[in-house]
Structures are given as structure tokens and as C-alpha cells.
Copies of this chain bind each other. A is one copy, B any other.
Amino acid sequence: MRSYSPVDFTHVSLTGPFWAERLETVLTRTVPSQYRKLEESGILESLELKDPPPPLRIPRIGGPDGHTHQVFWDSDIGKWIEAAGYALRHRRDPDLEAKVDAIVDQLEAAQMADGYLNLWYQGHEIEKRWTNLRDRHELYNAGHLLEGAIAYYQATGKRKLLDVLERYLDHIRTTFGTGPGQKRGYPGHQEIELALVKLYRLTGERKQLDLAAYFIDQRGAEPHYFDEEAVARGDDPKAYHFYANGNYQYAQAHKPVREQDKVVGHAVRAMYMYSAMADLAAELDDDSLRHACEMLWKDVTTTRMYVTGGFGPSASNEGFTTDYDLPNDTAYCETCASIAFVFWAQRMLNLDLDGHYAELMELALYNGTLSGLSRDGELYFYENKLESDGSHRRWPWHPCPCCTMNVSRLVASVGGYFYSVGPDAIAINLYGGNSADLELDGRRIRIVEESLYPLSGKVRVSVHPDGHGPFTLRLRIPDWATDAMANLNGNPVDVPGQTEKGYLTITRDWIDGDVIDLDLPMPPRRIYANPKVKMDRHRTALARGPLVYCAEQVDNETPIADLLLPRTAELVEQMRPDLFGGVVTLTTKAETIARDDWGPDLYRTAPPTPAPTTLTAIPYYLWANREPGAMQVWIRES
């Protein structure tokens, strides 16, 4: 039994400037341009099942890298269909629909008689299908195609792709399981599990939930399936060629998931798996899965999370290393990992409406996720570093474009994260102007929010219920809003006294037009890291509201790496309508030791004398949208 449910994003109309702009950019620029990239880069050609494949034509920085058809391209096609489906749910578009339909026709044509559908294997080595779940992404691809099929069906009512995928799932169900003659396999890259839960929620078919549960339950069982399939195909199980870390941890398959309490390995695989575990915990009322999720959540958020809500410090395994190892300039922080964390956080929040989950969901959304997409909606970060000497640049595309369409599908559906609906209660998790048509126990309730959030912490919520009868409204009070105030129809509300687990909780017989005015003060603040994070010692990160800030070279005359911020220097907010359509910058008196008149000596007995300068910081997610230059989140204090 699920405590709270997410809200379909189509029921939330985003009217506030922040999300309206991001959403519009994604709908009008990102989704269409991504189709062009799929075409230009040769990914759509993989639908033609040519062998040998055409060379990869990626307009990437540094020139083409000689890649051809990649085993994960089905997933990119699926993810784009999903993003396009979300776009179509915002507004129908015959041209976009025709593009999806053409792809769907090709996928249908490609599907084998027994239901199998995988462009790589069908194009190149069909005799090897299902021989390498560990490395070859077949189930991962199926999961993303399934999510695309669901989204497109929900947008258009067209079932063709969903039918294709359901046939494929029947094939998968026959192939994998604990019955006689079945392979006891599970995905090397988790994803299909959460997609199956989505399908179950759409169709109500128990078999889809069972298949998801099978994959989760089987994972990490002994004897180890990845070893068995390696031996079966004549490989040395120890030769983990796709595994930088050369071990089961890479794919979180080192032990059964219920025994896992340490976040390890590839960050995106981990977060997709935890999301599915939380889904199954809710659907199956499985306390052991829920407990594992809580342990893993506590672990990652107290030892392995960047202040931006980024995850996975290391490029070598695209994932986790050791506790408190959070290097800034070499941070990997794949956009997909933050997005997958947002998925997981939402599921944890709906299992247990605790503001802590919403707080970190919001952190990852506004910072580690949004930084992955440029202001113009057509350039990307795959890696979201927290410090750069100026060499870290956005890409027009990527040989592995997973992050590009992950960010578009998230932004296109972001309204779904604003609210949760539970028994007798509506929870507002995220703020920003919107109007939402919600349903609570069969009753229609309209919530209208007027706010410039996150530019300002002032939020006006008006409630418009159909009919009468009491229900509870929960309004999240962020941790940083230490002196939050609220009025109900002009009368003060005792915020501290009425806040439960991070939510201001008001139960009453709401009347059409009731208004709550919420004031969430967001003075600029300094964040410090646990001293165990050695790379952040003697440094501070600046933040305002949910936004983490960074110093970018273009706003600063002193080289970023030379900046020193005195502990007591006041951070001054400045509304800059000229910048990115309106943004609050933080400015402060700072120092630099680089301008000391040191002379040619290499060493001397007098310390350098810092010279005064000014530091200007912008929201982290906006960096790398102007002239290239250095950037730093953690500023050294003096």
C-alpha cells in the first residue's frame, strides 16, 4: 500500500517564470533538436538493421571517435519517444507525431516472430542474443522502449508500440525466471524494473509487476548469473571488460538487494534500481525492500552526495568510490545520475511523506539535473563538475546521448513532482507558479499557486475544492527556510507548531478561495561540508533557497581559483533582470592572493597579502551558458 501517489504532470499547469521557461525551451527546442541529432548521428539508421552499420556521425567536440552502432541505442530511441510523448501530452503536434509513428512502424517491422526486439543483436549477431546480460543492455533497452511506448500511448491513445513491447515482454517473461528451462538472468543495467511498474500501473496486469519483482529478487543470487552466462558463452567471468572496477558492485549485483546497505558502483544503475525497489516496496507493501531503500538513502546522502545533488565522483566506473570522496574538478556527476536520484527521491517521498526526501529531490532537480541542459536547450553536460579550469564545455551531442533525452523527459514531466496525493491529504512538495487540478478520494480540488519561486520565497496558494468536507493540505517548509511564516486568509499560522516532518500541515474544511500566504525566507547562506570531505575543507558553497551557486569567470575579474571569501563577508543579493531573463546573483567582498606584489622570489618569510576584490556568484545550473571560463562551487574561505 502506497502512502502517497504522484500526480500526473498533465494535471499541473506551470505558470511561474522558472519552470515555464525551462518547459517551453524543452518543448520547442530540445525535443525537436534531439530528433535531428538522432538522425544526424546515425542512431535512427540503426532501425534499418544494416550490417555492417554506417559509421557514427556525431558532431562532437574533438571530432568523430570512430564509434558505430552502439548496443544502447534502442534506449536512446525509447527515451526520445518518451520525451516526445510528454511533449505531445502538453500539446498535440502532427509533425512530431508523424516522426514517432515512423519510428514505431520500423520497430514493429523489426520485431521478430517470437517477440524479440533489439536493434544491435538483430542487426549484427542475432545468434548471440541473451548471452550477455551483464554488458549488452538488452533489458535496459527494453525498459526504455517500454517507457516510450507508455508515454506515447498516454499522449495519443496509439497502442502500436505498446503492443510491440507487451509482446516483447511476453518473450522476456518466457525467457527469464525461476521455472524449468528459464534463464535466471537479470539486467546488467537496471531500468526495465521501474518501467514494468509503470506498465503495471497503466494496465493493472499483475504479470508486469511480477516480472519487475523477479528481476529485483533474483539480483545478486548465487551462483552468480553473470558468471554462468560468461562461462556459457566461453568467456572468462573474471574478464569484466565493460567493468572498470571489475566486480559485481559495478552493477549492484554483489549481493541480494535486500542485503545492500552501501551505495556502490555505476551511479545511474544504482539509482534506477533503488527507484524500482521503492516502487515495489509500495506496490507489494514490502518492508524489507523499503528498509533497504532507507539504508541506501541514508548511506548515499550522508557519505556520497555532492552539494549540488550530483552522484558518482569517478569517470572510471561512472559511479561511486569511497565515503567522502567527492573531488570537484574531476567530479563525474552524470546528469542521468541526478535525474535517477530525483526519480528515487520522489518514490521515497511517496512512501513516507518526509520533507527530507523532497528537500533532496528539489536539490538534485534544480542543481545537478538542470545544469545538464544549456539555457538554449540544445547543449549538454554529461558530466556536471563542481569546478573547472575552463576546459569543461557543453557538448552539442554525445557518443552516449543518454543524458540528453533524460533531461528532456524529466523537464517535460516536471509538473508531476510538485504534488503528492495521499489519504485525505494533498502535499505540495515543490513551489513555483502553477495551477493544478487534483483528485482526492474522487473529489476534484483545484490548487492555484502564484509565486516567482525560486527567485522569491513568497508563495500564495489558493484552494478551490469541489464540494465540502475536511482534508489536509501539507505545504513543504524547506530546511533552509528557518523563519518561514504563513497566513491563512490573512490570519497568522503557527508554522513551527504545525509543521510535521517538514510539512506545514493544515486540516480544515477548505472553502473555495481560501488563501495561504507562505513566506519562505531565502537569505543567501553558506554551506560547509563535513571535514571528512577533504577536498571541501576550508571552503564554503553559497546557496539561496534551493539553488546552489557558483563563481563563474565571466562574472569575476579575479581568476576564480584565486578567490578567497572572508568568513564574515556579507553576501548581497542582486536581482539581475538582464541576465538569463532574470536571476538573483550573490555578490560579496572577497580577496585574492594572486594580485600580491610578490616579485620573482619563489619563497620568502612574509606571507602573501591578499588584495581586495569582488566575488559574484550565479546559480550553478546556469553556468557555461556564456563565454567559456573557469567555475567553482566550493570557494576557499579566508
B534 in contact with A302 (CB, 8 Å): no
Interface membership of chain A positions 536-573, coded 1 if the CB is closer than 8 angstroms to chain B and 0 otherwise = 01101100000000000000000001100001000000
A531 in contact with B302 (CB, 8 Å): no
Please name all residues of chain B whose beta carbon is closer than 8 Å to the beta carbon of A302 when the two chains form the complex: 600-602
Binding-face segment, A120-128, A184-192, A603-611: A603-611
Q: How many residues of A contact B (CB 8 A)?
A: 38
Chain A 274-328 residues near chain B, CB threshold 8 A = 301-303, 305, 307
Please name all residues of chain B whose beta carbon is closer than 8 Å to the beta carbon of A605 when the two chains form the complex: 480, 525-528
A583 within 8 A of B: no
Bound Cα distance from A6 to B624, whole angstroms: 61
Interface membership of chain A positions 599-638, coded 1 if the CB is closer than 8 angstroms to chain B and 0 otherwise = 0111111111000000000000000000000000000110
Can you list 18 contacts pairing A with B, beta carbon distance less than 8 Å? A302-B601, A302-B602, A305-B602, A525-B605, A526-B605, A526-B607, A527-B604, A527-B605, A528-B608, A529-B602, A530-B603, A530-B608, A531-B596, A532-B594, A532-B598, A537-B593, A567-B607, A607-B637
B530 in contact with A636 (CB, 8 Å): no
Bound Cα distance from A532 to B600, whole angstroms: 10
A531 in contact with B608 (CB, 8 Å): yes
A636 in contact with B538 (CB, 8 Å): yes
Which has the most chain B C-beta neighbours within 10 Å: A301, A526, A532, A602?
A602
A533 within 8 A of B: yes
A530 in contact with B598 (CB, 8 Å): yes
B533 in contact with A602 (CB, 8 Å): yes
Please name all residues of chain B whose beta carbon is closer than 8 Å to the beta carbon of A601 when the two chains form the complex: 302, 530
- Contact of A603 (CB < 8 Å), options: B528, B561, B567: B528
Which has the most chain B C-beta neighbours within 10 Å: A303, A480, A537?
A537
Please name all residues of chain B whose beta carbon is closer than 8 Å to the beta carbon of A530 when the two chains form the complex: 598, 601-604, 608
Interface membership of chain A positions 464-489, coded 1 if the CB is closer than 8 angstroms to chain B and 0 otherwise = 00000000000000001000000000
User: How many identical subunits does the complex contain?
Assistant: 2
For residue A296, give the distance in angstroms from its CB to the closest CB of chain B: 15
Query: Provided the pairs A538-B538, A636-B538 are in contact, do residues A531 and B594 lie with their beta carbons within 8 angstroms?
Result: yes
Closest to A605 in B: B525
Closest to A304 in B: B602
Please name all residues of chain B whose beta carbon is closer than 8 Å to the beta carbon of A538 when the two chains form the complex: 538, 636
Closest to A543 in B: B605
Closest to A527 in B: B603
Bound Cα distance from A529 to B596, whole angstroms: 12
B305 in contact with A606 (CB, 8 Å): no
For residue A564, give the distance in angstroms from its CB to the closest CB of chain B: 8
Bound Cα distance from A203 to B7, whole angstroms: 96
Please name all residues of chain B whose beta carbon is closer than 8 Å to the beta carbon of A567 when the two chains form the complex: 607
Bound Cα distance from A594 to B598, whole angstroms: 33
Bound Cα distance from A302 to B594, whole angstroms: 17
Bound Cα distance from A525 to B541, whole angstroms: 34
Please name all residues of chain B whose beta carbon is closer than 8 Å to the beta carbon of A606 when the two chains form the complex: 528
**Interface of A with B (CB < 8 Å)?**
301-303, 305, 307, 480, 525-534, 537-538, 540-541, 561-562, 567, 593-594, 596, 598, 600-608, 636-637
Closest to A596 in B: B531
Beyond the given A302-B601, A526-B605, A537-B593, could you list 10 further A-B residue pairs with CB under 8 A, ordered by the A residue number? A302-B602, A528-B605, A528-B608, A530-B608, A531-B593, A531-B598, A532-B594, A534-B561, A541-B603, A607-B637
Q: Which 7 interchain pairs have the tightest Cβ spacing?
A: A531-B593, A528-B607, A531-B608, A302-B600, A302-B602, A527-B603, A530-B602
B528 in contact with A303 (CB, 8 Å): no
Closest to A529 in B: B603
Closest to A607 in B: B528
Bound Cα distance from A596 to B532, whole angstroms: 10
- Contact of A604 (CB < 8 Å), options: B528, B608, B637: B528
Bound Cα distance from A480 to B604, whole angstroms: 10
Bound Cα distance from A561 to B534, whole angstroms: 9
Please name all residues of chain B whose beta carbon is closer than 8 Å to the beta carbon of A561 when the two chains form the complex: 534
Closest to A533 in B: B602
Closest to A598 in B: B530
Bound Cα distance from A567 to B525, whole angstroms: 27
For residue A85, give the distance in angstroms from its CB to the closest CB of chain B: 36
Which has the most chain B C-beta neighbours within 10 Å: A301, A305, A529?
A529
Please name all residues of chain B whose beta carbon is closer than 8 Å to the beta carbon of A540 when the two chains form the complex: 607
Bound Cα distance from A534 to B534, whole angstroms: 17
Closest to A608 in B: B531
B602 in contact with A303 (CB, 8 Å): yes
For residue A50, give the distance in angstroms from its CB to the closest CB of chain B: 39
Closest to A528 in B: B607
Please name all residues of chain B whose beta carbon is closer than 8 Å to the beta carbon of A541 when the two chains form the complex: 603
Please name all residues of chain B whose beta carbon is closer than 8 Å to the beta carbon of A303 when the two chains form the complex: 602
Please name all residues of chain B whose beta carbon is closer than 8 Å to the beta carbon of A603 when the two chains form the complex: 307, 527-530, 541
Please name all residues of chain B whose beta carbon is closer than 8 Å to the beta carbon of A301 when the two chains form the complex: 602
Query: Provided the pairs A525-B605, A538-B636, A636-B538 are in contact, do residues A531 and B600 lie with their beta carbons within 8 angstroms?
Result: no
Please name all residues of chain B whose beta carbon is closer than 8 Å to the beta carbon of A593 when the two chains form the complex: 531, 537
Please name all residues of chain B whose beta carbon is closer than 8 Å to the beta carbon of A562 when the two chains form the complex: 531
Bound Cα distance from A537 to B533, whole angstroms: 19
Bound Cα distance from A527 to B540, whole angstroms: 27
Bound Cα distance from A567 to B610, whole angstroms: 14
Please name all residues of chain B whose beta carbon is closer than 8 Å to the beta carbon of A525 when the two chains form the complex: 605
Bound Cα distance from A541 to B604, whole angstroms: 10
